[in-house]
């Protein structure tokens, strides 16, 4: 049983929404497993409250935080220092509080590429990312770094074109998917996430059985996109893999201890009923 006392280190996830988040399950089970005196909580933070929330991290001595949708880009201006990779990506999903100074990092990039590399090579593959937010930025950076031939598709023209320019790749409207070579398709939007589980970011006819299809949504673990892709015979990569890999990197940054990867993965799968 975990004992919470005045020496317990506090960690948090900030996002909107966060009611679906499995981060508290994952990190708290990991803390207990290694005997670390820490606790992790979820805080729903609206965009207008983000600056105050980040100030609160300092004021309350919160040791670290996960940043999720929709704050991964906006949070950067409120931090004291940014890691070089996070700066290049242009998005932060991890905050480490070192003596009242907040450092921003990005572990989404590593999480996504590790999850993909379990199932497929990336180098020289035609990769399409759906979306242009903070997660798409991180994943796109990872794909380009691994030698993938990337295209960004979306519905937010200005945001999409900026991301494409930053990565040195092309941007097209989502409706162009059928006209673009695609070996690996990655959904980097929240479409299909609980509670809107019937939604899909693309049409079934846009999927081809030769594709590897990845969805960063992890709740539900098998989104409608992944179900449709599986039915066609596609190789699929669920969001839980990326979620766990990025979480392992966060855990080790915060605690400076080796993460219990299997415990974290099993906790997430159990929470998802798998």
The residue among 269, 218, 254 whose CA lies nearest residue 65 is 254
Residue 120 CB neighbour total at 10 angstroms? 15
Confidence check: pLDDT of 209 > 90: yes
What pLDDT score was predicted for residue 1?
63
Catalytic residue IDs: 72
Q: State the Cα–Cα distance between residues 154 and 170, nearest whole angstrom.
A: 11
Check whether 108 has a pLDDT greater than 70: yes
Closest CA to 106 of 256, 249, 271: 249
For 117, 118, 170, 198, 245, the CA distances from 123, given in Å and listed in that order, are 10, 14, 17, 33, 20
Distances (CA, A) of 86 to 73, 78, 154: 10, 14, 22
Dist. CA 26–CA 162, nearest whole Å: 34
Look-up of token digits 């990569």:
237
Percent of the chain with pLDDT over 70: 99
Q: Is 233 left (phi over 0), alpha (psi -120 to 50) or beta?
A: left
The residue with tokens 């609160």 is 56
Least confident of 43-47, 156-160, 193-197: 193-197
pLDDT of residue 55: 98
- The residues pairing with 13 across neighbouring beta strands, listed in sequence order, are 42, 66
SS3 70: coil
Question: 274: pLDDT confidence band, cut at 50, 70 and 90?
Answer: low
DSSP 20: T
What tokens were used for 34?
């290694």
Look up tokens 């930053």; give the residue.
Answer: 166
Q: 205: pLDDT confidence band, cut at 50, 70 and 90? A: very high
Three-class DSSP category at 9:
strand
What is the Cα–Cα distance from 190 to 168, expressed in whole angstroms? 24
Q: Which residues, in sequence order, are CB contacts of 155 under 8 Å at separation 6+? A: 173, 174
Which pLDDT band holds residue 2 (cuts at 50, 70, 90)? confident
Hey, what domains does the chain have and what are their CATH numbers? Answer: 9-106+241-271 (3.40.50.10860), 109-237 (3.40.50.720)
Share of the chain above pLDDT 90, in %: 92
What band does 164 get if pLDDT is binned at 50, 70 and 90? very high
Question: Mean pLDDT, to the nearest integer, of 137-141?
Answer: 94
H or E element: which one contains 271?
A: helix 261-271
């Amino acid at each position: 049983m975990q004992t919470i006392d005045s020496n317990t280190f506090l960690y948090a996830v900030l996002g909107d929404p966060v009611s679906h988040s499995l981060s508290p399950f994952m990190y708290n089970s990991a803390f207990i497993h290694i005997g670390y005196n820490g606790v992790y909580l979820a805080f729903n933070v609206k965009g207008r409250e983000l600056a105050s929330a980040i100030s609160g991290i300092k004021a309350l001595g919160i040791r670290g935080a996960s940043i999720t949708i929709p704050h991964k880009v906006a949070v950067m201006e409120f931090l004291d220092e940014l890691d070089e990779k996070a700066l290049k990506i242009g998005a932060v999903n991890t905050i480490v509080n070192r003596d009242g100074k907040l450092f921003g990092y990005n572990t989404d990039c590593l999480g996504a590429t590790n999850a993909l590399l379990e199932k497929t090579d990336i180098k020289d593959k035609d990769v399409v990312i759906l979306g242009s937010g903070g997660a798409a930025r991180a994943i796109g950076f990872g794909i380009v770094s691994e030698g993938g031939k990337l295209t960004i598709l979306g519905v937010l023209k200005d945001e999409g074109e900026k991301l494409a320019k930053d990565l040195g790749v092309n941007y097209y409207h989502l409706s162009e998917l059928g006209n673009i070579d695609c070996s690996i398709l990655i959904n980097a939007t929240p479409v299909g996430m609980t509670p809107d589980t019937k939604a899909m970011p693309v049409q079934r006819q846009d999927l081809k059985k030769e594709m590897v299809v990845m969805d960063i949504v992890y709740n539900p673990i098998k989104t409608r996109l992944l179900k449709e892709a599986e039915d066609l015979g596609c190789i699929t990569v669920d969001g839980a893999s990326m979620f766990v890999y990025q979480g392992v990197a966060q855990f080790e940054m915060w605690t400076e201890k080796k993460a219990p990867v299997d415990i974290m993965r099993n906790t997430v799968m159990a929470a998802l009923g798998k």
